[in-house]
């Protein structure tokens, strides 16, 4: 059943102004989201460059899977031979609350990778890859947690 609603010119003007304001707010939120996502993507790429050359392609693939499909897909993409060590490392990390904490976390990984001794009984890429994967997962979680407006979904991929 159709219903007729009568609006005055001022009612219509008010509604249109409100819609325009909401669109501008959403646009600004989406732009901020896109900037933040790009920043975290760049941080992830910076971290991947710390890994030995043999592991960089694998890490890039896992990181991109996480960006496209989410944190669970990221975890599933981690190779079986390092999954247990990865789970241990993730258990010790906490989600950062600010960009400064993210930078601090990245600096810690940079320092750890530099200090790793080759006394570890595994391929040379193993431990740096585990540390790097841990921080990459945090970045993926942050990126996926930022989109609070459904209109920003286009910026996610």
Domain total of the chain: 1
The structure tokens 């960009």 sit at 99
Residue 3 domain flag: no
For residues 100 and 113, give the distance between their C-alpha atoms in angstroms, rounded to a whole number: 20
Mean pLDDT per block of 10 residues along the chain (157 residues) reads 86 86 76 83 86 82 86 86 81 81 82 61 62 77 60 49
Residue 2 domain flag: no
pLDDT for the residue 96: 81
What residue numbers bound the domain in which 67 lies?
9-156
Token output for 44: 């992830």
Per the confidence metrics, is the pTM higher than 0.85?
no
Q: Which of 20, 14, 8, 141 is nearest to 70 (CA)?
A: 141
Residue 137 domain flag: yes
Residue 128 domain flag: yes
Residue 33 domain flag: yes
Residue 1 domain flag: no
């Amino acid at each position: 059943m159709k219903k007729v609603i009568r609006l005055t010119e001022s009612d219509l003007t008010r509604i249109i102004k409100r819609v325009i304001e909401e669109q501008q707010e959403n646009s600004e939120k989406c732009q901020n989201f896109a900037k933040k996502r790009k920043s975290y993507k760049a941080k992830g790429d910076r971290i991947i460059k710390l890994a030995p050359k043999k592991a960089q392609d694998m890490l890039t693939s896992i990181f991109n899977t996480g960006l496209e499909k989410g944190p669970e897909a990221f975890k599933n993409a981690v190779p079986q031979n390092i999954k247990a060590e990865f789970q241990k490392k993730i258990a010790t990390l906490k989600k950062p609350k600010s960009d400064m904490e993210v930078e601090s976390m990245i600096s810690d990984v940079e320092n750890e990778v530099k200090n790793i001794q080759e006394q570890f009984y595994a391929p040379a890429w193993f431990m740096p890859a585990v540390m790097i994967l841990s921080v990459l997962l945090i970045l993926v979680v942050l990126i996926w947690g930022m989109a609070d407006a459904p209109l920003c979904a286009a910026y996610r991929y």
